[in-house]
Amino acid sequence: MTQIVNVVKATLIFACLCGVSYFSFYKNPQAALPVSDLALENIEALASGESSLTICYGSGTIDCNGAKVETKIIGYGSEF
């Protein structure tokens, strides 16, 4: 008898946790905050570090430092 009660308790606890998770993640509109373009640029800058070198050539369709170019070369290293 106590084993059945324990299974029912575990099932109720699991169902409650699922309900709380659902309302926390799917029903709360402020849970997913938008990330601005400036924040994304800062994240990219921090991820690339201080030792990157970008060279842009020509005129084309590739985005390079805010300009459209034909060729973009990205080099990494400690000395330039």
Average pLDDT over residues 65-71: 82
Q: What is the pLDDT of residue 27?
A: 67
Model confidence at 80: pLDDT above 70: no
For 5-60, how does the pLDDT look when each residue is reduced to its tens digit (9 = 90+)? 888 899 999 999 988 888 777 766 565 667 788 888 888 777 766 656 777 888 88
3-state secondary structure 4-65: HHHHHHHHHHHHHHHHHHHHHHCCCCCCCCCCCHHHHHHHHHHHHCCCEEEEEEEEEEEEEC
Q: What is the pLDDT of residue 11?
A: 92
